[in-house]
Structures are given as C-alpha cells and as structure tokens.
Amino acid sequence: MSDPIRIMVVDDHPMWRDAVERDLQAAGFDVVAVAADGHQALARFPAARPQVVVLDLQIPGPNGVEVTAQVLQHDPSARVLILSASGEQADVLEAVKAGATGYLVKSASREELLDAVRRVAAGDTVFTPGLAGLVLGEFRRIADGPATDPRDELTERETEILKMVAKGMSYKQIAERLVISHRTVQNHVQNTLRKLQMNNRVQLTRWAIEHGLDDED
Amino acid sequence: MADRLFRALALVRVVVTLNLIVLNTYRRDNYDHPWAAVAVVAALVAWTGYAIWASSSARRRTTMFFVLDLGWAVGSLAATPLVKGADFNATIPGFWVMGALLAWAIRWHWKGGLAAATILSVTDLALRDSIDQANYGNVFLLMIGGPIVGYMCKSLQRMAVERDLAERAAAAAEERTRLARAVHDGVLQVLALVQRRGTGSDNADFAELAGLAGEQERALRSLIRQQGTVTPDAAERDLAGMLEERGSSHRLRVEVATPGVPVAMPSAVAEEITAAVGACLDNVAHHVGPDARAWVLLEAMPDQVVVSVRDDGPGIPPGRLESAVEEGRMGVTGSIRGRIEDLGGSATLDTGSHGTEWELTVPRRAE
C-alpha cells in the first residue's frame, strides 16, 4: 500500500481541530501538522509539506483566503480543502479563486469529510451545491461585465454540468444522465474552476499593470 | 468642538493684538497723554495673553471671564477720549474688540454675539461728538457680524454633536456585527460538532440530539446569510434570502444554492415565487416522504430568474399527472403552474427515475 496522505489541519477551535485530527488519523491519514491561525499555518507549512490542507476560513491572522493563496504559491502541488462553519459566501468564492479545490460545510458527516479529503488529494474537485451556485453566479457576472474573453466563459456543457451539481446531483448521477464517463464530468468541473482562477489572475495582473506595479521588474 | 473654535479665536486675538500694537505705534503722535496710551495698550496685550490661556480650557471659560473680556474692550474704548482728547478718530483698541465679541458669539451663540455687538456699538457711538460714515459702517458690521458668527457657531456645534452621534452609532453597529460573527461562528461550530458526533450513534437520545443540532445549525447559517443580503427598498425584496429562509425552515432537508449576491425582485413577485417553491417542497414531502432530500437552485440572469427544485425520489409514474387533471384534481401541479404563469413565466416538470425537478422561469421587469 502507498504511503498515507499527509495532511495539515488549520482551525482556531481546539475542540473541532482535535475532532477532525482524530477522525483523519483513525482513517489512516497522516496528520503532519495542525495550526490555530494563519501565521502558524504559513510558518509550519514549508517544513511539514502536507499534500492536503484542511482549512477553516474564519481564522485569526492571515485569513483562510490569504493562507490558500500563499500555501499554493509555495507549493503548487498542494491541495486546499475549505471546511467552513458559516458558509460565508463571498469568502468561499474568494478562496476558490485563490486556488482551493474543495469546499465542505462543517455539518458534513465524518464519511463525507474523509471522502472529500481523498478526492481532493487525488486531484479531484469537491463541490457542494451551494458552491456550484456561487460559481455559476460569478460566471454570469463575468459574462455580463465589459470586454469578455470567450475563453473566460463557460461552455454550454460546463454550465449544464455545474447546474446539475448545484441541484445536488452526484458526479455519478450526472454521468448517467448525460451518458458520459465519470472522468469526463470530473474534467468539466475542474475546467470551470481553472477558468475561474485564471480569470482571477488575469484581473489581478490587469489591475497591477493599470496601477504601475509591474515597473519594478 | 468649542475647544477648536476657541483655538481658532486665539489666532484671531494674536492678529488683532499685533494690529493694535502696530497701529498705535504708528499713530503715537495723536495722543494727548502718550504714556497713558502705552499703559492701556500694555494692559490689553497682557489681557490678551491671559485670555488665550484661559479660553484654552473649558474649566477656565467662566461667565466672569467673558464679562471681564468684554469689560476690557468697553473700558479701553471708554478710555480713548481721556487719552487722545475728545476729537479722536480711531479708538485705542480698534479691531481688538473683535476678540471679546467673537468669544461671546462662540459662548452664547447669536444672542451672545448680538449682546456684545450692542454693548460695543453703544459705547463707541456714545463717546463720539459726531458720527461719520466710517463709524456707522463699523457699527453696522459689528451688529451684523456678531449674531451671524454666533449663529454659525451654534450650527457647527450641532453638526459636530450629530456627527459624533453618527460615528458612535456606526462604531457600535460594527462592533455588534463583529461580536455576533464571533458568537455565531462559535455556536455553529459546536452545533456542527454535536451533529457530527451523534449521527449514527447507538444511543438513541444522542442521535436525536444530533439531528436537532443539525436543524439549528442550518437555520442559523441561513439566518446569517440573510442578514448580509437585506435590500433597503421595501418595494423590492431579495429573492435569494427569501428562498434561503424558506428552504431552511422546511421540515425536509433542503439545500439552497444562490448566486451569492442579493437578487432584488418586486416584493409581490418574490413572494409568489417563494410560495411556489414552498408548494414544490411540500409536494416532495408528501410524495417522497419525510426523509427525502431536496435542492433549490436560483439563477439570476439580467432578463429572467430561473428557480429549480429537485428531489431524489423515485419520480412521478407516467400518466399520473394527466389522470389527476382528468379527474378534476388540479392539485399542487395546478397551483404551482398557475402562480408562475400569472407572473408571466413558465413552469416545467421533469420526472424520472433520477427524481423530480421543477424549473420555474420568471421574467424580470424591464428597467
């Protein structure tokens, strides 16, 4: 059997952090680090080199969105799974734009969490219906905005699949319904996230150029 | 605020005192009794120094101080004929009297300004043998300026009080929101944890407790989201928030997906759509059972909104709806279709082994 997946748990509630850590260890994962705030998370990440960061968005210090961005800048092969209590919608969307590939609310069951960690570690994206709705809304706003690059927009297929995710269908159900493979559904969903992150980077770069921040180079 | 006005007045006092010294030095030949003039000017300069110090603190700004301040102005005016001779033109203090006048205007507003201006004007006019146009002009400005400056001081002070109140209210609201977030976050964490530990527990009581915790967690989470999406206009309501609320208060486990921003619709339209969604959910509970799960998706386009309601039940058997209509039982289907068509929209039903899905499309009013 291959090595266990290395995980870091970031949460400022000790009770919750312990519970998640215990569940993960019981399921055979290797919890290589825990952190109670953004500073600790960023300090411990380089040495611990986790493959998956299970991250609460509402943490003190650099918040979950900043931690996501910095961790992925440091190690692009790492994966970030957002575990959020309140489902603060704007924050969740920002974290996904910053590169998080999974999102769960804390009321998800133990099994859902373990499954999500495995899938995120394997490079899959974990969407909740709520997140799919947010992403759909974001693409609508991008499409309605000025000067849209067609490559930024979702294809009809991608929109169709994202809508199905938002209506609570599993990838398996979607695959059966559209008579395509599970892997194809997965790829389409991943593409939507990639486009969202790409658009975010393009926006940031454009902003930097407009404000003359590229002169330093 | 009063402190700031008196600080500004201190500057005025310095300027008019310098003016006093320079003008009296320049006109030193006009005096019958030059040493008396030096004494008066020296006394006024000394008083100015004291007045600037005294008026820098609210505790030292007593009524007695203001009376003395104006007393020095009146006294030095009255001393003019004695020092300069009866046929004087300019008084010794000259513009220096502005200090006392403005102090009264700041302290007692338009009434103070008017009272001080009257006292100074009467004194000035009473001393003169004859009144020329320049004298009249000065008195006129004094009588106009005193009350107006006083009135403006009052307005400024009132605005400052209002601004302070508004700032305090904003800070309090912000702090309340911050505290509420912290409290909510903690409560949500505990509810989620109880739910997670208890689900599937052998202990029936604990399992039930876990179920209740889960319900409360969903309700609270939805409430927090709605707080952020209140549209101020009463004629319009946020459809996203209303659907969140309807979903979380339903006895089924319902997940609501929205664009994450308020979707403003005319109140009546938003209420009809929400009611139709409620009817869809009741229908699911009735036909699929209390353990059914349901999902609501709201999509907002510029010209229309689309609301989908899906369940994971076995679907409606073919022909069942048609037979219901033939038997004259319009029932739920009719009520959902009717509501949406009255809004100028359409309702379509898709059913199969994958579950049942209503799609409600309603046009948004042209802007």
- For residue B367, is pLDDT > 60? no
Q: To probe the interface with B, which of A13, A21, A93, A106 has the most B CB atoms within 10 Å?
A: A106
Rounded Cα distance, B6 and B55, in Å: 6
CB atoms within 10 A of CB A86: 23
Which residue(s) pair with A149 in the sheet?
none
For domain A130-216, the CATH class is mainly alpha
Rounded Cα distance, B323 and B325, in Å: 5
CB atoms within 10 A of CB B15: 14
- Protein fold of B235-367: Heat Shock Protein 90 (3.30.565)
CA atoms within 13 A on the CB side of B293: 9
Q: Do A137 and B193 touch (CB under 8 A)?
A: no
Q: Quick one: average pLDDT of A12-24? A: 89
Q: How many residues does chain B have?
A: 367
Contacts of B214 (CB under 8 A, 6+ apart): A107, B191, B195, B199
The pLDDT tens digits for B72-122 are 999 999 998 888 887 788 888 988 999 999 999 999 999 999 999 999 999
Rounded Cα distance, B287 and B291, in Å: 11
The SS3 assignment for B155 reads helix
The pLDDT tens digits for A68-87 are 999 999 999 999 999 887 66
The pLDDT tens digits for B275-290 are 899 989 988 888 888 8
Sign of CA dihedral A194, A198, A204, A208: positive
Amino acid at A63: N
Which residues in chain B have their CB less than 8 angstroms from residue A15's CB? 189-190, 193
Q: Do A89 and B260 touch (CB under 8 A)?
A: yes
Contacts of B98 (CB under 8 A, 6+ apart): B12, B16
Say if B359 is an interface residue toward chain A (CB within 8 Å): no
Query: Which of the four pLDDT bands, split at 50, 70 and 90, describes residue B123?
Result: very high
Average pLDDT, rounded, for chain B: 85
How many A-B residue pairs are in contact by the CB < 8 A criterion? Answer: 111
CB atoms within 10 A of CB A206: 10
Token pair 């059966």: residue: A176
Rounded Cα distance, A158 and B358, in Å: 21
Going from the C-alpha of B116 to that of each of B92, B102, B146, B243, the distances in angstroms are 18, 9, 7, 67
Q: Where are the domains of chain B?
A: 2-167, 235-367
**pLDDT score, position B34:** 85
Rounded Cα distance, B44 and B97, in Å: 10
Q: Pick the residue with more confidence: A212 or A6? A: A6
Q: Where are the domains of chain A?
A: 6-126, 130-216
CB atoms within 10 A of CB B324: 16
The pLDDT tens digits for A129-156 are 888 998 999 888 888 777 666 777 888 9
The pLDDT tens digits for B304-322 are 999 999 998 887 776 666 6
Q: Quick one: average pLDDT of A100-121? A: 89
- For residue B360, is pLDDT > 90? yes
Q: Pick the residue with more confidence: B339 or A160? A: A160
Rounded Cα distance, B187 and B207, in Å: 19
Query: Which of the four pLDDT bands, split at 50, 70 and 90, describes residue A216?
Result: very low
Contact call for residues B142 and B117 (beta carbons, < 8 A): yes
Which residues in chain A have their CB less than 8 angstroms from residue B181's CB? 58, 86
Percentage of chain B modeled with pLDDT above 90: 34
Q: What is the ipTM of this complex?
A: 0.83
- ∠B4-B10-B11 over CA atoms, to 5°? 100
Superfamily per CATH, domain A6-126: Response regulator (3.40.50.2300)
Residue B13: exposed, middle, or buried by beta-carbon count in 10 A (0-12, 13-18, 19+)? buried
- A212: closest CA of chain B, how far (Å): 31
Q: Per DSSP, which regions of chain B are E strands?
A: 236-238, 253-257, 264-266, 293-300, 304-311, 346-352, 355-363
The SS3 assignment for B31 reads coil
Contact call for residues A45 and A33 (beta carbons, < 8 A): yes
Q: Do B221 and A87 touch (CB under 8 A)?
A: yes
